[in-house]
Structure 1
Amino acid sequence: MHAYGAAPAYAQAVLRIIDARTGESVDAAPARRGLTRVEAHASGLDPTALRVLLVADLLVRALELGGTPVWALLTGEHEQAELRTAARTLGIRPFEDGGDLGSGLGEAQVLHVAAGDAATTGGVLVAVAPVESPTAVVPDLSDPGALRLALLSHPRDLPVRLDADALDEARRTLAHWRGSVADWARRPSRPVPDEARAELRTAWETDLNVPDVLGVLGRVETWSDLPDGARFETYAYADRLLGLELTRDIGSLA
């Protein structure tokens, strides 16, 4: 990886997502940038339902970063208040109530985010694999940042096992990154390198590949000859998608 490569490849990038119904990659937002509806289908407070909302949150963030207006809704029948509260704790932005969907907003695309092969009508189906939690049905929200990172570290179409080891590893990684970002923030700011920005955009715009986004951050951390100010800006830029509060500890270092 070089600090300044060729012309940025991200300028014309378009978010593409696998439609679980067909197995084909499709544009998440039409070329004319019309309104895209992201509809999360989840009921009950359990780790899988929370993962569905997290994937929907990532879709909304990625679309907005690409300049697409988004209408985000939540549909379901059970424990919606509890699920919404847990989602807020996890850093998931609020969803509107999907109980009365009207079609008068002129949306150009509809993305359904649901567990497995849940029955949905029309649009694109973004399937989310289940979360296997050996200790509890209700997710542990005592360290929401670690829980969010643990869920983000795996492709959304593969099951996740949320055990003590997975959460401890996420907790250590997050603490390390937040500490590094706080340290880098003390240096003069530098632009995000074009190559790093392009790699990040390519990763999340290719079927929302968040594990590859995390991999780019790992490489940027050890990228030789890169000014710390550029590392800081790269992590802050990626966190607009990740929502991990990577800049939270700025100013806390002596």
Structure 2
Amino acid sequence: MLSIADTRTGRLVEIPSANRHLLRISVHVPVIDTGITPAYLRAPLVGDVLARTAELHGLQALTLLTAPELPQERVQALERAMAALGIHPPAAVGAYDQQEALGSPADVHVLAHGTDTDAADGARIDVGRVSTEPADEGAQPLLEERGPEGADPLAVRMLLLGHDHRTPVEATRAALAEAWQELRQWRRLVSSWAQEPSRPIPADLLKQAHAALADNLGVPAVLDMLRSVVGRADMPAGAKFETFAHLDRVLGLDLAREVGRPHPEVS
């Protein structure tokens, strides 16, 4: 069972209802006046994680991105930014009649901070705000921050996933650098573990992870679980690899990127 806390009532509701196997998601973003920042991408990211979680639980998902008053060039810029963050492309982007575009009323509305909807159907998820630092003159935008190995927008995804989707996030360069360092370490660990014989994911760990995701998208709890897996001496490397690879189906962090590449020894 996949449950979401409905902002309207504060209660957990099962989605999709009536034992259906298709989850219809409507993501609402505000009018974009300037460049694409993490503030515009958090709601699409939450919608992406919701769709991935549904698929992990054997459901199909259909996502519509509602972006009113958005000219085509900004739609294209938004699509490029979403792709950079590993967000699966929605079925449609723009100002659409919800029911006509989805084929039925939405099961869930995901609303970016500062947006609203008059739709009465489905559960409602209000996503917390994202604040960013003013850009220094000549500095790279947050979505193009560079580390020693080049640009990696998935560090922004890592940063946002580390917070409950309802809470505010400060997307500072220091926070982004910390997320990028952990992401890089995890990829190198996954690459190292991939060289060992495969082992099954411990059943209790798998059950705990799926339960956390099904309970109002508990992604931060899943990230904490993976941090504990890194340090477990009693868990074979092959099982660690399978655990990270399996949960990356929802996290979307491209954790197996370094598999097969030369890398320094990691512990």
Query: Could you tell me the TM-score, scaled by structure 1's length?
Result: 0.88
CA distance in 2, matches of 1:47, 1:133: 8
What's the CA shift for 1:129?
0.5
Q: Distance in 2 between matches of 1:96 and 1:109?
A: 13
Which residue of 86, 91, 94 corresponds with 1:91? Answer: 86
| Count of aligned positions | 241
Residues 99 and 105, structure 2, Cα contact 8 Å, conserved in 1: no
Q: In structure 2, do the counterparts of structure 1 residues 167 and 29 end up closer, same or farther at CA, with 3 Å as the change threshold?
A: same
The yes-or-no answer on 1:47 pairing with 2:46 is no
C-alpha displacement of 1:31: 5.4
Q: 1:59 aligns with which of 20, 36, 50?
A: 50
Aligned match of 2:199: 190
Structure 1 residue 46, shift from structure 2 partner: 3.0
TM-score by length of 2: 0.84
- Deviation string for 1:188-230 (max 9, x for gaps)? 0001110110111111111001100101101111123211000
User: Where do 1:166-177 residues align within 5 Å?
Assistant: 166-177=175-186
> What's the % identity of the aligned pairs?
38
1:237-248 maps to which residues of 2 (within 5 A)? 237-248=246-257
Counterparts of 1:87 and 1:229 in 2: how far apart (Å)? 32
Q: 1:26 to 1:102 in 2, by over 3 A?
A: closer
With over 3 angstroms needed to count, the CA separation of the structure-2 counterparts of 1:89 and 1:52, relative to structure 1, is same
The amino acid across from 1:53 in the alignment is P
Q: Which runs of 5+ in 2 are unaligned?
A: 136-140, 145-150
- 5 Å-filtered alignment, 1:112-127, equals 112-116=109-113, 118-120=115-117, 121=119, 122-127=121-126
Deviates more, 1:219-228 or 1:203-212: 219-228
1:111 matched to 2:108: yes
Question: 1:107, CA displacement in angstroms?
Answer: 4.6
Is 1:220 matched with 2:220?
no
Deviations along 1:81-124, one digit per CA (max 9) or x if unpaired, are 21111000111010122524344966585110012473221211
Mean CA deviation greater in 172-181 or 101-110: 101-110
Q: Give secondary structure in 2 for the equivalent of 1:146.
A: helix
Q: Aligned partners of 1:28 and 1:177: how far apart in 2?
A: 32
Q: CA RMSD in A?
A: 2.0
- Tell me if structure 2 keeps the 8 A contact 1:33–1:67: no
